[in-house]
Structure 1
Amino acid sequence: MTLRVGMVAGEPSGDLLAARVMRGIARHDAGSRCEGIGGPAMRLQGFDTWHSMDALTVFGYVDALKRLPSLLSTYSDVKKRWLAQKPDVFVGIDAPDFNLRLELQLKQAGIPTVHFVGPSIWAWRYERIHKIRQAVSHMLVLFPFEEEIYQKEGVPVTYVGHPLAELIPMQPDRAAARRYLGVEPGARVLALLPGSRSSEIKLLAPRFLRAVQLLSSQDPQLQVLVPMVNAGRRREFEALLRQHPIANCRIIDQAEAGSRPAPDGPACAGRAEGGDTGSDAYFAARPAAWNVMQAADAVLVASGTATLEAALFKRPMVISYVLTPMMKRLMEWKSGQSRPYVPWVGLPNVLARDFVVPELLQDDATPEALAEATWKALTDTPYAQQVVQRFVAIHESLRRDTPGLAARAIMEQARHGTA
């Protein structure tokens, strides 16, 4: 019998995760059918898209309020369709606010539910575990320490590893990335990643750029590579770059061809994944940020998934983040907390349970402090080697057959139901 799987992925990272899971399921059941809300990577795997994942992509509380009517309409439609024609199993990928609510309704109707990517209850709003226990038949988690949390709380769980640990090589070839990007082999290179959201660019980029101005006074030859996720973020960053100009800065943009800077200003180049790990096709298929991190000596980065990527590329880094007072109050109101349960914010530090790399947050994120910490990451070789050793251990702990493990758990739930 053909396996029918309901799926909801609400953002690009979830789309990529779901596509890999679909490939894992197809290896066991070539006739399987997946349907629901997804993105382009899922469609390439034959996903039946009822709604684009763009319907769920929101940035911040204000955007969520503006989009509430369309979010409710999308939620009502998929719930009605799955209750009318029940899938063998439902898989919600991340997007916990949307998916946990939907999973509860589907599970109560007798549909087994799998949630892939555990909400960060280890840092914020641990009380969500009660909702998870009610709504989820089986959890699939990315990090090893999460497995113990769910086991302790009586929630069936499988640690499947992090797919990034499979995609990023254990020993990234810095020289190959530099050849691709047209960077001199012996140059000192800083990757600058001020975030993928407009609010992050606005709040972090000026601090980052002023920090780089200080670094450039110490090393006028310092090369700075800045990957941008889209044209909108690039325009916002370039406006700030004009206010805080720095020498030897290149913007690396996924959408544009060419790998060398234009003579009259910042260039854009970016490329991502293919066959030979030294070939142009390999780099052209990957996210621009990956090529930049692989080419860099160190990374100055906004807190988020990019910090984990930088750790897997074995690059010393400085992590930073800034919220406006209003954003901070909203976050505290929603979570009921003034700070996370754990002392770390960056994923590499969370995974290591230690301050392996510095975190400069809020008022501590001054240009002077950022420059000092980044200079150490760029120039202190013994320190950098220690950081690399810690990141190798993290990488090894996260490497699993993620698609295979996830697919087996999902198919097991489809066979045995919600009991």
Structure 2
Amino acid sequence: MEKLTSNSIVWTAGENSGDYLASRVLPSLSEAFPQMTMEGIGGERMVADGLQSWYSASELSVRGYLEVVRHLPRILKIRHDVIRRTLENRPAAYIGVDAPDFNLAIEEKVRSTGIPVVHMVAPAVWAWRPQRIHQIKRAVDHLLLVFPFEEKIFREAGISCTYIGHPLADLIPIEPDTLGAREKIGLKTVGPVIAILPGSRKDEIKWCAPEFFGAADLVLKSEPTSRFVIPAADAKRKEEILKVLDQFPAVKEASLILDGQSHTAMEASDAILVASGTATLEAALYKKPLVIGYKMPALSAMLILSKGQTKWIGLPNILAQKSLVPECVQMFCSPEILSSHLLHALEPKRQEALKAIFTDIHHSLLRPTAQLTTEAIEKVLKR
């Protein structure tokens, strides 16, 4: 096998969540290996932490079978280029962050040439496509896990792994400062505050936002003093959100649109309406009652749901192994159903009950993530 270089580590993080998770550990790794150049695919946070970007993480932000097919030529071109650059540069390690559909094929190819591979955020084989565990075993030298129950699954499969805790648990305070968050964004209100997060992708806003804002419109009819806080992932998403809001003038009038600041929006809220994904965990860590909604093209949904291995799609429910919060998917993601659940979420007894459970979940996810990640990667490099 060819000799590895000692002056670079390649990262590939897909989507906003991957960019965020990687940014929590990249500085620690840079400090441990000051001679290393960090390069690859990442978002704004990773670039701010010193990543030399080949492509933006947003290039990989595609969900659903039909949507992937539409973007497949572009994604395959990026994948081919990442493999080419990695094999030419012979880095000290390749670190894939989440995005298993993109990363695993690259990791398998890269590892076969002798380049050490670490993967952060294990593919959810416990939720769907359990056969993928065989590809993981071929593709990675070490797996970094963000949920405690995953250790048993992967160790029994003979995959080297470390539970590093979830970076979000370290970032988000155990006790949220709701009033402080409202002051930070200049939100003054006498009624309930609901954070609405319809997703960070174009397709999510197209499919989820009309249902979410329709629900907000119905909530206003029951609670006229309600205010809504809506974080937009970037300028493009903000434009798309505002276009949908134009169909709901009463909601638009009662809404505060934020540039980013999704965590502040959640912390400022009394309840959260959120698209399925990492944001469901963030909502729980902020100890807020949440309602999960998701809608996508029917064929994509049918194919994805048919491969499901768990009763739930929301991380709070999966971690608790019970239905803590409502999940409204496809035909159930309607304004009428969502608004009914939101009004229930605003009830004080509901808020207190969930706060206690979410606090226990928070403590279970707290670990010195950056330190554990750096130590695990150091061991792989020394091997």
Give your verdict on TM over 0.5.
yes
Q: Give, in angstroms, the shift of residue 301 of structure 1.
A: 1.4
Judged with a 3 Å threshold, the aligned counterparts in structure 2 of structure 1 residues 339 and 376 are, in CA distance, closer, same or farther, namely farther
Corresponding position of 1:413:
380
Q: Give, in angstroms, the shift of residue 367 of structure 1.
A: 2.3
Task: Provide the C-alpha distance between the structure 2 equivalents of 1:196 and 1:134, rounded to a whole number of angstroms.
Answer: 32
SS in 2 for 1:296: coil
Corresponding position of 1:376:
344
Judged with a 3 Å threshold, the aligned counterparts in structure 2 of structure 1 residues 415 and 308 are, in CA distance, closer, same or farther, namely same
Q: Name the amino acid aligned to 2:104.
A: L
Given candidates 272, 277, 284, the residue that maps to 1:299 is 272
Question: Are the equivalent residues in 2 in contact too, given 1:213–1:246 (CA < 8 A)?
Answer: yes
Task: Provide the C-alpha distance between the structure 2 equivalents of 1:20 and 1:157, rounded to a whole number of angstroms.
Answer: 19
121-130 vs 176-185, greater mean Cα deviation: 176-185
Corresponding position of 1:387:
354
Judged with a 3 Å threshold, the aligned counterparts in structure 2 of structure 1 residues 368 and 12 are, in CA distance, closer, same or farther, namely closer
Corresponding position of 1:131:
135
Corresponding position of 2:296:
323
Q: Give, in angstroms, the shift of residue 55 of structure 1.
A: 4.5
Task: Provide the C-alpha distance between the structure 2 equivalents of 1:358 and 1:165, rounded to a whole number of angstroms.
Answer: 22
Corresponding position of 1:349:
317
Question: Are the equivalent residues in 1 in contact too, given 2:98–2:123 (CA < 8 A)?
Answer: yes
Q: Name the amino acid aligned to 2:358.
A: F
SS in 2 for 1:7: strand
Q: In the alignment, is residue 23 of structure 1 matched against residue 24 of structure 2?
A: no
Q: Give, in angstroms, the shift of residue 59 of structure 1.
A: 4.8
Task: Provide the C-alpha distance between the structure 1 equivalents of 2:51 and 2:218, rounded to a whole number of angstroms.
Answer: 49
Query: Cα RMSD over matched residues?
Result: 2.2
Task: Provide the C-alpha distance between the structure 2 equivalents of 1:312 and 1:402, rounded to a whole number of angstroms.
Answer: 16
Corresponding position of 1:83:
87
Judged with a 3 Å threshold, the aligned counterparts in structure 2 of structure 1 residues 88 and 199 are, in CA distance, closer, same or farther, namely closer
Judged with a 3 Å threshold, the aligned counterparts in structure 2 of structure 1 residues 366 and 41 are, in CA distance, closer, same or farther, namely closer
240-249 vs 346-355, greater mean Cα deviation: 240-249
- What does 1:221-236 correspond to in 2, within 5 Å? 221-236=225-240
Percent identity, aligned pairs only, is 41
Task: Provide the C-alpha distance between the structure 2 equivalents of 1:207 and 1:155, rounded to a whole number of angstroms.
Answer: 42
Q: In the alignment, is residue 115 of structure 1 matched against residue 119 of structure 2?
A: yes
197-206 vs 58-67, greater mean Cα deviation: 58-67
Task: Provide the C-alpha distance between the structure 2 equivalents of 1:85 and 1:181, rounded to a whole number of angstroms.
Answer: 45
Task: Provide the C-alpha distance between the structure 1 equivalents of 2:230 and 2:60, rounded to a whole number of angstroms.
Answer: 28
Q: In the alignment, is residue 165 of structure 1 matched against residue 169 of structure 2?
A: yes
Q: Name the amino acid aligned to 2:378.
A: M
Aligned length: 378
Corresponding position of 1:249:
254
Task: Provide the C-alpha distance between the structure 2 equivalents of 1:303 and 1:78, rounded to a whole number of angstroms.
Answer: 29
Corresponding position of 1:190:
194
Q: Give, in angstroms, the shift of residue 54 of structure 1.
A: 4.5
Question: Are the equivalent residues in 2 in contact too, given 1:230–1:253 (CA < 8 A)?
Answer: no
Corresponding position of 1:311:
284
Task: Provide the C-alpha distance between the structure 1 equivalents of 2:89 and 2:242, rounded to a whole number of angstroms.
Answer: 50
Given candidates 227, 236, 243, the residue that maps to 1:239 is 243
Q: Per-residue displacement from partner, 1:104-132 (whole Å, max 9, x unpaired)? A: 11211122211111112111111000000
Q: Name the amino acid aligned to 2:328.
A: L
Question: Are the equivalent residues in 2 in contact too, given 1:226–1:249 (CA < 8 A)?
Answer: no
Corresponding position of 1:152:
156
Task: Provide the C-alpha distance between the structure 2 equivalents of 1:169 and 1:137, rounded to a whole number of angstroms.
Answer: 33
Judged with a 3 Å threshold, the aligned counterparts in structure 2 of structure 1 residues 108 and 177 are, in CA distance, closer, same or farther, namely same
Structure 2: unaligned runs, 5 residues or longer? none
Q: In the alignment, is residue 11 of structure 1 matched against residue 21 of structure 2?
A: no
228-237 vs 85-94, greater mean Cα deviation: 228-237
Question: Are the equivalent residues in 1 in contact too, given 2:62–2:201 (CA < 8 A)?
Answer: no
SS in 1 for 2:31: helix
Question: Are the equivalent residues in 1 in contact too, given 2:295–2:330 (CA < 8 A)?
Answer: yes
Q: Give, in angstroms, the shift of residue 226 of structure 1.
A: 1.8
Q: Name the amino acid aligned to 1:100.
A: L
Structure 1: unaligned runs, 5 residues or longer? 255-286
116-125 vs 220-229, greater mean Cα deviation: 220-229
Q: Name the amino acid aligned to 2:254.
A: C
Q: Name the amino acid aligned to 1:20.
A: R
Corresponding position of 2:364:
397
Question: Are the equivalent residues in 1 in contact too, given 2:16–2:43 (CA < 8 A)?
Answer: yes
Normalised to the residue count of structure 2, the TM-score between the two structures is 0.91
Corresponding position of 2:326:
358
Q: Per-residue displacement from partner, 1:370-402 (whole Å, max 9, x unpaired)? A: 222111111x21221110111111111111111
Q: Name the amino acid aligned to 1:359.
A: E
Question: Are the equivalent residues in 1 in contact too, given 2:66–2:300 (CA < 8 A)?
Answer: no
Task: Provide the C-alpha distance between the structure 2 equivalents of 1:67 and 1:199, rounded to a whole number of angstroms.
Answer: 12
Task: Provide the C-alpha distance between the structure 2 equivalents of 1:52 and 1:221, rounded to a whole number of angstroms.
Answer: 40
Question: Are the equivalent residues in 1 in contact too, given 2:61–2:201 (CA < 8 A)?
Answer: no
Task: Provide the C-alpha distance between the structure 2 equivalents of 1:188 and 1:158, rounded to a whole number of angstroms.
Answer: 41
SS in 1 for 2:196: strand
